[in-house]
Amino acid sequence: MINIVKNFQNIRSSINNSNVNIIAVSKTFSLDKIKPLVDFGHNHFGENKVQEAKIKWLNIRRDNSRLQLHMIGKLQTNKVRDAVELFDYIHSVDNEKLATALAKYENILKKKNKYFIQVNIGNESQKSGIDIDKLSDFYLFCKKISLNIIGLMCIPPNDKNSKNYFLKLFRLNQSFGLSHISMGMSADYLDAIEYGSTFVRVGSAIFGERVAK
């Protein structure tokens, strides 16, 4: 049986920076598998589907206000209202239509969330994220409509040296004067931290390999 609390503690002890937040990526895992880490006192959890997150977290959130939920998957505009209501952080803002919908429902729900702009750092056609050459204009658009952009996010290409892309995102983040960066997963979170990541998205290293859905 996988001891997720021990796995988490091992990851935490490997990080020599108290400013780094570990997002335990709990997507596809049932709440009974996640609960030991909640009971241990960990706060940050990541999901990539709004409906799955609602089923798992809605009730437990009512009893545990310290929990911080992160939307790390692609967000469809027809799910924005629920996402704004349920999540605290959204890591996948990458187009004006989505940004406009987020601002609209923040106003309706009287809630301010924290956002990362997802950058297509490897210029991969199959991946989400704003192109680097459009990033500056998009950032200004998000600020104009009062989204609280706290940093940039990326998922580097699988077959390349992640460090090169982490450095590129770090420099972009600096150019906007942003305080946080969302990058690094189970296989490369230490490299990401070396290049300034403040939020790492760790799933399999905590929960074990997941079954694809």
What mean pLDDT do residues 28-47 have?
A: 95
Q: What is the pLDDT of residue 162?
A: 92
User: Collapsing DSSP states into helix, strand and coil, what is residue 201?
Assistant: strand
pLDDT-derived band at 210, boundaries 50, 70, 90:
confident
How many whole angstroms separate alpha carbon 126 and alpha carbon 134?
17
Q: What is the pLDDT of residue 212?
A: 58
| CATH number of this structure's domain 4-207 | 3.20.20.10
Q: What is the pLDDT of residue 92?
A: 97
How many whole angstroms separate alpha carbon 1 and alpha carbon 36?
13
Contact 191, 200 (CB under 8 A): no
What is the DSSP code string of 141-203? HHHHTT--EEEEE----TTS-HHHHHHHHHHHHHHTT-SEEE---TTTHHHHHHTT-SEEEE-
Task: Look up residue 130 and give its DSSP letter.
Answer: B
Contact 111, 146 (CB under 8 A): no
Average pLDDT for the chain: 95
Q: What is the pLDDT of residue 209?
A: 86
Q: What is the pLDDT of residue 158?
A: 85
Percent of the chain scored above 90 by pLDDT?
90
* Residue that is written with structure tokens 């450095």 in the block: 167
How many whole angstroms separate alpha carbon 171 and alpha carbon 24?
26
**Tokens read off for 74:** 């692609």
Domain ranges of the chain: 4-207
What mean pLDDT do residues 119-147 have?
A: 95
How many whole angstroms separate alpha carbon 28 and alpha carbon 210?
7
What mean pLDDT do residues 172-201 have?
A: 97
**Tokens read off for 54:** 């609602």
Q: What is the pLDDT of residue 161?
A: 85
Tell me, rounded to whole angstroms, the distance of Cα 171 from its chain centroid.
19
> Is residue 213 scored above 60 in pLDDT?
no
pLDDT-derived band at 33, boundaries 50, 70, 90:
very high
How many whole angstroms separate alpha carbon 145 and alpha carbon 134?
17
The per-residue pLDDT for range 70-129, each reduced to its tens digit, is 999 999 999 999 999 999 999 999 999 999 999 999 999 999 999 999 999 998 888 899
Half-sphere exposure of 32 (CA within 13 A, CB side): 0
Q: What is the pLDDT of residue 211?
A: 64
Measure the CA angle with vertex 193, ends 187 and 195; round to 5°. Answer: 110
**pTM higher than 0.85 for the full model?**
yes
